[in-house]
Amino acid sequence: MKIAFIGLGNMGGPMAMNLKKAGHEVKAFDLSAEACKKYAAEGLGIASSAADSVAGAEVVISMLPASAHVEGLFLGGAGKPGLLESIAAGTLVIDSSTIAAATSRKVAEAAAAKGIAMIDAPVSGGTGGAIAGTLTFMVGGEAKDLERARPVLEKMGANIFHAGAAGAGQTAKICNNMLLGILMIGTSEALALGVANGLDPKVLSEIMRRSSGGNWALEKYNPMPGVMETAPASKNYAGGFGTDLMLKDLGLAQENATAVRAATPLGGLARSLYAAHSLAGHGALDFSSVLKLVQKAS
């Protein structure tokens, strides 16, 4: 299958590579020349532009940072045409960015008007899941379009859920990430408290992992350096899922909660704590570095 892949960041790059390894003909593009050079060296086909990447594509996948990037890419603006003008009718578009549900619906409606099928399919599983091809996809859109996308999604993920109509995938994702942000702060507090009392963080982590405090952070993504060698915490919090990206997702959750008048007090507090962490200069570090906010100075 001919696939255009736009966005070769920490998540997008490995996802595109998994599609190539599965035998698909992938033509990718990213505004970062460095990212394009990196994946070209790994054998990924690189286009000269986003419009070039979609020429002849049967499926177009985007993995971008925020709502403004997705809307700008597909709908254009400031006198520049959007990518929907270059995508042929009948093409399937899969947007795996994490953005506002309203933006997903807006772009999907514009795509439908041009005879282009579009689903929102944000992911969970982190960079490890992107590399291993074990991501969870939360899909919003028509069931028939999901079935068209399924053979492609299965090469990048292990779990695929149909959350509902257009935008529903994004809603599911912000609910998940709000919980993740809260859990990471709670896990960091508990570990920091134990270490301040002289406990070995590896032993404490294992105790909590096998007890009622067990959660994904303890299982896969421990925030304490040295406890889990594959976690960003053991790599100076490099790579992974940035603090500023978590802050963006928590902001989306709060905007949504305001719109539907839902009570999310812990989500609001988590957003404030990640905002403080970002303002302290840690925005580019993995979100698990929020441990630094609660860690006793050595």
CA 93 – CA 278 distance, rounded (Å): 33
User: Residue 115 — φ and ψ, nearest 5°?
Assistant: 75, 25
**Is 2 known to be catalytic?**
no
Which amino acid, residue 57?
A: A
SS (H, E, C) the chain: CEEEEECCCCCHHHHHHHHHHCCCEEEEECCCHHHHHHHHCCCCEECCCHHHHHCCCCEEEECCCCHHHHHHHHHEECCEECHHHCCCCCCEEEECCCCCHHHHHHHHHHHHHCCCEEEECCEECHHHHHHHCCEEEEEECCHHHHHHHHHHHCCCEEEEEEEECCCHHHHHHHHHHHHHHHHHHHHHHHHHHHHHCCCCHHHHHHHHHCCCCCCHHHHHCCCCCCCCCCCHHHHCCCCCCEHHHHHHHHHHHHHHHHHHCCCCHHHHHHHHHHHHHHHHHHCCCEHHHHHHHHCCCC
Report which of 123, 137, 290 is spatially closest to residue 223, judged by C-alpha positions: 290
CA 138 – CA 16 distance, rounded (Å): 18
Beta strands 135-140 and 123-124 are antiparallel
Q: Which residue is catalytic, options 20, 27, 173, 248?
A: 173
Residues labelled as active-site residues: 173
